[in-house]
Structure 1
Amino acid sequence: METKLETVRTLQDLLAEGDELWIVCHNNPDPDCLASALALGHIAADVGIDEQHILYCGAISHQQNRAFVNLLEIDLRPFDPDDVVDRPEGSLLALVDHSVPGANNEIPAGTPVDVVIDHHEAEGIRARFVDHREAIGATSTILTEYLDALDVEFEPLLATALLFAIRRETLGFLRGATRAEYAAGGTLHEHADLNLLRQLANPSVSGATIDAIADAIDNRTVRGSVLVSYVGRTTERDALPQAADYLASLEGVETTVVFGIVEDTVQLSGRSTDARVHIGDVLRETFADVGSAGGHREMAGGEIPLGLFADQVDEDDQLVDIVERIILGRLVNALNLADDGDDGRDADAAG
């Protein structure tokens, strides 16, 4: 089996062939993706690539993600497909925390990729260098292993970024964490800026996020250990996973799905601690015919174009009602909720 040092040396040899490095983050990048991009850029700089570009698709709306970018002074630019397709000869394209062009990103399908480093479930990965480890809890763990194998001195900002990303991705080492995450955390801790780490962990929350979470609480439907809710329209996409995390703490609840309308899409966020439920598979199978969805056994998300519903009505209020009814109905069927005991709320009436 190839050692970590041999793996990162292989990566270095590939990077040394390039003059520029274009690192593309996935849609609406989270700290794990952003920290991994920073770390890969650090490795590239070490072999002489000074021209680097970190691109992001979607938006950075979660308050922790915005604080992450601002406090760590990450140089980002919005993704433009032309930048990738028409990039200079001799430049390299890398994906971190995602792996396939056109899946959770806006890269044209079939675009050749040089580097893929990821821990999410995926098929059909093609790149000159691939480190795809689904058993690992965070992509930042893999990058930390690379840097440690190279025996580099961790800069405080980079160490802080990686440590926060690992903690955030694993919910404080409680979700999907392996021995590798604990080892990486131990490596990073002595180099991290703990005051900055505390700032990142406690950012201010927008009023729109609080409103969305409140709506999710009010609109919840519970059947046995499953909770489904919706927030209507919101400007804060990342309020949905925050609402899902919060509602997952409700006593007796093991599986939670929250959905809402964000701009021109329906966004979904799911959580599950039920060993019988792979929430990524549930969302993927339920919405494969109308959008894209999937993820891990314990954490997943999805996106459906709103245009599929918009043609049916003229008024926005009607649109919201139709989205709620159809999405809730699909989830009720997928999670076998129709005949379960409930807490007084009628899922079928709500849908």
Structure 2
Amino acid sequence: MSRPRELEDRLGAAEELTIVCHNNPDPDCLASAFALGRIATAAGIDERRILYSGDISHQQNRAFVNMLDIDLRLFEAEAVRNRSAGSLLAFVDHSVPGANNRVPAGTPIDIVIDHHPIEGVEAAFVDHREGVGATATILTEYVRELETDVNSALGTALLFAIRRETLGFLRGATRAEYDAAGWLHDHADTSLLRTLSTPSVTGATVDTIASAIRNRTVRGSVLISGIGRTSERDALPQAADYLATLEGVETAVVFGIVDDGIQLSARSTDARIHVGQVLDAAFGDVGSAGGHREMAGGEVPLGVFADYTKDDAQLFSIVEQVVTSRLIAELNLAEGSGS
């Protein structure tokens, strides 16, 4: 039996489905959850919910949710903890309880569909493909084989997610992404795709990116920039995307304090560096970090740092020293090579 048919059978035997997105979900996660919900509907599940935690603050992600009318709910611990015998718990675009999600570690998971490189994936049903460029690609295969009804909203969501996750098919794209995109083309609203691709940018986001540019330090082909405290969490990956395009820069890491944690975002075109492994090795012992060779992120609780001072400038000075030194050590950079 094929994986889509196996999933269909598993859903058909259930009465309820809870889909948990990872923290601060991106289009790949949201579109995949949207698609899995449609597959569950076709399988006869009437009770469905998509839960998320953190923020949907990136202007593209907000537009994505609003314009496609995706029904999301804030994470509810009770919905995960007190599930009935006929209820399934699913992860899309992430795999392990407690890693980039608020589900307690050790919680049994029924369904996992993901493409991120990570070890220790366990569930009753697992489709974990590290070689695929987007989780939305896998879900596109599922809706195609199962002949799920794909209206313009779902088609647009999946196609936009694949394009965004692969940076317009320039990062991590495989033949599977092109095949999925070709099929989705006839199901998507091209006008809406253009709108989603060019959302308005807030002044606060521009200010955060400007801070990253101002505070950059370059060591060889590696750029590191700390932006202090910000409310614009999603400006960090945007800043990393931009700084990685600077002449001579092959790897860019941007970090800042958001609420009660340190957020990191990294990009790399250096074939010698796997930024997901770099961030995991540098911060995995004190937080959650990882990702792909070209794109990665991480979050470290402020914890003991916050006990030193309540002054943001002093606090970030301490954070900057620790984060920078860990990155320098893990990337094997010479301390005196800054510019």
TM-score by length of 1: 0.94
Of 267, 273, 285, 2:269 maps to 273
The answer to whether structure 1 residue 94 and structure 2 residue 90 are counterparts is yes
Q: Deviations over 1:223-244 (max 9, x none)?
A: 1111110111110111110000
* Unpaired segments ≥5 residues, structure 2: none
Of 14, 24, 33, 1:28 maps to 24
Of 159, 163, 166, 2:159 maps to 163
Q: Deviations over 1:272-310 (max 9, x none)?
A: 111111111111111122211111111111111112211
Q: Deviations over 1:177-226 (max 9, x none)?
A: 00000000000011100111111111111111111100000000111111
Structure 2 contact 97–103 (Cα < 8 Å) conserved = yes
- Alignment correspondent of 2:319: 323
Mapped to 1, the partners of 2:12 and 2:58 lie a distance apart of: 35
Mapped to 2, the partners of 1:93 and 1:136 lie a distance apart of: 23
- Alignment correspondent of 1:132: 128
Mapped to 1, the partners of 2:237 and 2:328 lie a distance apart of: 19
The answer to whether structure 1 residue 151 and structure 2 residue 143 are counterparts is no
Greater Cα offset, 328-337 or 278-287: 328-337
Mapped to 2, the partners of 1:123 and 1:289 lie a distance apart of: 15
The answer to whether structure 1 residue 293 and structure 2 residue 295 are counterparts is no
Mapped to 2, the partners of 1:249 and 1:86 lie a distance apart of: 48
The answer to whether structure 1 residue 215 and structure 2 residue 211 are counterparts is yes
Of 69, 75, 82, 1:79 maps to 75
Structure 1 contact 283–302 (Cα < 8 Å) conserved = yes
Greater Cα offset, 285-294 or 55-64: 285-294
- Alignment correspondent of 1:63: 59
Structure 1 contact 237–262 (Cα < 8 Å) conserved = yes
Q: CA shift at 1:8, angstroms?
A: 0.6
- Alignment correspondent of 1:260: 256
Structure 1 contact 56–77 (Cα < 8 Å) conserved = yes
- RMSD of aligned C-alpha atoms? 1.2
The answer to whether structure 1 residue 190 and structure 2 residue 149 are counterparts is no
Mapped to 2, the partners of 1:260 and 1:48 lie a distance apart of: 45
The answer to whether structure 1 residue 312 and structure 2 residue 308 are counterparts is yes
Structure 1 contact 224–340 (Cα < 8 Å) conserved = no
* Unpaired segments ≥5 residues, structure 1: 346-351
Mapped to 1, the partners of 2:247 and 2:87 lie a distance apart of: 52
Q: CA shift at 1:313, angstroms?
A: 2.0
The answer to whether structure 1 residue 104 and structure 2 residue 93 are counterparts is no
Q: Which runs of 4+ in 1 moved over 6 A?
A: none
Q: Aligned letter for 1:147?
A: V
TM-score by length of 2: 0.97
Of 243, 246, 256, 1:247 maps to 243
Mapped to 2, the partners of 1:26 and 1:339 lie a distance apart of: 36
Mapped to 2, the partners of 1:146 and 1:292 lie a distance apart of: 30
Of 110, 117, 125, 1:114 maps to 110
The answer to whether structure 1 residue 51 and structure 2 residue 47 are counterparts is yes
- Alignment correspondent of 2:5: 9
Structure 2 contact 288–298 (Cα < 8 Å) conserved = yes
Q: CA shift at 1:340, angstroms?
A: 6.5
Count of residues paired in the alignment: 339
Of 282, 302, 315, 2:298 maps to 302
Q: Aligned letter for 1:109?
A: A
- Alignment correspondent of 1:18: 14
Mapped to 2, the partners of 1:327 and 1:279 lie a distance apart of: 15
Mapped to 1, the partners of 2:312 and 2:173 lie a distance apart of: 42
Q: CA shift at 1:336, angstroms?
A: 2.3
Mapped to 2, the partners of 1:316 and 1:204 lie a distance apart of: 29
Greater Cα offset, 204-213 or 176-185: 204-213
Q: Aligned letter for 2:107?
A: T
Mapped to 1, the partners of 2:336 and 2:166 lie a distance apart of: 31
Q: Deviations over 1:9-56 (max 9, x none)?
A: 100000011111100000000000000001001111011112110000
Q: CA shift at 1:126, angstroms?
A: 1.3
Q: CA shift at 1:58, angstroms?
A: 1.1
Q: Aligned letter for 2:193?
A: L
- Alignment correspondent of 1:349: none
- 1:241 alignment partner, SS class: helix
Mapped to 1, the partners of 2:143 and 2:288 lie a distance apart of: 34
- Alignment correspondent of 1:348: none
Mapped to 1, the partners of 2:221 and 2:106 lie a distance apart of: 41
- 1:311 alignment partner, SS class: helix
